[in-house]
Amino acid sequence: MLLNVENLRVRFRLGRGNEISWSEAVGRGETGVSFAIEENQTMALVGESGSGKSVTAMSILNLLPDNAERTGAISFLGRNLLTASADELRALRGKDIACVFQDPMSSLNPVFTIGDQLAEPLMLHLGLSRRQARERSLALLNEVGLPDPSRRLDAYPHELSGGQQQRVMIAMAIACEPKLLIADEPTTALDVTIQRQILELLAGLKQRHRMSMLFISHDLGVVGEIADRVVVMRQGTVREQADVARIFSAPQDAYTRALLACRPSIEHNPTRLMVIDEHIKGAAAAAAPPPRVKDANAPVVLEVKGLKKHFWMRSRVFGRKPFHAVKGVDFKLRRGHTLGIVGESGSGKTTTGLALLRLHEPAGGGTEGDVQFDGQNLLALPRSALLPYRKRLQVVFQNPYASLNPRFTIGQTLLEPMNIHAIGAGAQQREAKARGLLTKVGLDASAWGKYPHEFSGGQRQRIAIARCLTLDPEVLVLDEAVSALDVSVQAQVLNLLKDLQDELGLAYVFISHDLAVVRFISDEVLVMKDGEVVEHAATEALMAAPREPYTQRLMGAIPRGYRAAA
């Protein structure tokens, strides 16, 4: 047995002096968390945010804050890691047990080159010279499939894409040929094709190096393609563990069945997504309301013709040269309808959404084309004339924590845009409207005086949506608005967006790399590649018979779980 975790409990000390309290994170109830990993085996920890899966994994090497207390037993090749000294753990980290985290940019040092960061563990743990470490680093970048590896050795992290950064992190993790690799949500923030490449890379490395892996994810579709055995966690406890085939074919726990069922599907499109608690309580899928028939002749609220966007890039020869990020986008968006824009990272989908709202200015580079809204070309208006249109076209970003002011209470956050645009007859009317919107997005009155850090990711996204609604917008641009959320919270937000659209007649531009989510919410889909539209069709027609090889490749890269992979 390579790793054996028995009755693990983790709690965090809160407060100081006589006001100390303890927060139970892992091992609530009568028993702690227990599981075992054999050699050359992939074990997956699955659950929603807050389930304790990352805390459990980080407990193995004690990568927890100082206020954490661990009890139980963690045995690695016969050694109890709970009683190991700091020096013993330091010798294990990176050599026998290595980690790959969700956000490679926060793990890579921005002031050191890729080559320097790869060489460090090789010189520290294996005693290689700098020249030997560089040669080994080049071989590692080749092994993880990084293009032009000799040039990448001297590059800095910010010069690589997200997928390339993740490959560098994997190369660093396998540099000393560890016996166990801990991969904590390594593909969550990546688009489907890069995600597919990373999953195949990890599976191949595991076979070549006979390496065991602890893979952490909230997405059972991804887990089904890489794991041998699955541990399902919720609220710090293990709800079920079994071989991956049994988890998918005959899940025993209601929570496992709910996780499998609540994610949008590429094969079929329900009227409404059921969330975790509805599945556990046994709510009937038939209770969902019938789909509202969209008016094919609804008025066009936004018409885009020939939208182009370029940025100025540094050039050694001519000083600077244009980079064409968007090369001519056309679409019409009708009231109450949703246009989905999909594509890989770098395809131009986010740039399209920000360009039509003129949110890139004055960063540099030109915007061309015609964005017609209420009889005006928004691209031709002077900036001083844009304010009345800002409230009618709003945007929801991927990371609500970054877009909410941490020093404002939720009440101040909702009142600020209404004060700027003079919405309502007075302060009392504005507050009544803001409080009503909190209720509409599923938050109670207690949220009013709290700050953004006191809410979960899904709740913060609801607040961001409520802030947009304070201005009574007609069009919402949603830029990867649900991509960072776990499957249950994602289902809640998607259902909310559909409800708001039905009630208020909102039109959405929904930008995403997840075709299953796009299928659920969109009426038509625009597929982008390298700044160009390669396919544009009604959602059901495109999903049933994609014409372009690129669209087919995007759909083929979607994780479909164990049954499709078997």
208 plus 344 within the same structural domain: no
pLDDT at residue 213 is higher than 50: yes
Per-residue pLDDT reduced to its tens digit, 434-479: 999 998 888 888 899 999 888 877 788 889 999 999 999 999 999 9
Q: What is the pLDDT of residue 286?
A: 42
Q: Point out the domain boundary residue: 228, 248, 268.
A: 248
Average pLDDT, the chain: 87
Question: For position 170, which CATH number holds?
Answer: 3.40.50.300
- Listed ranges 185-194, 291-300, 386-395; the one with the highest mean pLDDT: 386-395
β pairing state of 393-396 and 475-479? parallel
Residue 529 located in a structural domain: yes
341 plus 215 within the same structural domain: no
Q: What is the pLDDT of residue 515?
A: 85
pLDDT class of 487 with cuts at 50, 70, 90: confident
In angstroms, rounded to a whole number, what is the distance separating the alpha carbons of residues 325 and 256?
A: 42
234 plus 340 within the same structural domain: no
Residue 289 located in a structural domain: no
64 plus 211 within the same structural domain: yes
Q: How many domains does the chain have?
A: 2
Q: Point out the domain boundary residue: 194, 225, 248.
A: 248
Residue 134 located in a structural domain: yes
Question: For the chain, how far is it from start to end, CA to CA, in angstroms?
Answer: 26
Q: What is the pLDDT of residue 562?
A: 59
Residue 457 located in a structural domain: yes
Q: How confident is the model over 7-12, as a mean pLDDT?
A: 93
Domain that holds residue 11: 3-248
Q: What is the pLDDT of residue 379?
A: 92
Contacts for 6 with CB less than 8 Å, ≥ 6 apart = 32, 34, 72, 73, 74, 75
Coil, strand, or helix at residue 266? coil
406 plus 524 within the same structural domain: yes
Task: Determine phi and psi for 215, rounding to 5 degrees.
Answer: -105, 120
Per-residue pLDDT reduced to its tens digit, 407-437: 999 999 999 999 999 888 889 999 999 999 9
Residue 490 located in a structural domain: yes
221 plus 340 within the same structural domain: no
How many residues are listed for the chain in this entry? 566
Residue 318 located in a structural domain: no
203 plus 340 within the same structural domain: no
Residue 475 located in a structural domain: yes
pLDDT at residue 284 is higher than 80: no
84 plus 232 within the same structural domain: yes
340 plus 196 within the same structural domain: no
Q: How much of the chain, in percent, has pLDDT values that exceed 90? A: 50
Contacts for 13 with CB less than 8 Å, ≥ 6 apart = 20, 21, 22, 67, 68, 69
Per-residue pLDDT reduced to its tens digit, 526-544: 999 989 999 999 999 999 9
241 plus 340 within the same structural domain: no
CB 460 within 8 A of CB 489: no
Q: Point out the domain boundary residue: 218, 233, 248.
A: 248
Q: How confident is the model over 173-202, as a mean pLDDT?
A: 85
Residue 539 located in a structural domain: yes
Q: What is the pLDDT of residue 215?
A: 95
Q: What is the pLDDT of residue 187?
A: 80
212-225 in b/e burial notation, b at 16+ Cβ within 10 A?
A: bbbbbbbbbbbbbb
DSSP string, 125-190: HH---HHHHHHHHHHHHHHTT-SSHHHHTT--GGGS-HHHHHHHHHHHHHTT--SEEEEESTTTTS
> Closest Cα partner for 415 from 449, 459, 455?
449
Lowest mean pLDDT among 47-51, 78-82, 562-566: 562-566
pTM of the model as a whole: 0.81
26 plus 151 within the same structural domain: yes
Q: What is the pLDDT of residue 33?
A: 95
242 plus 388 within the same structural domain: no
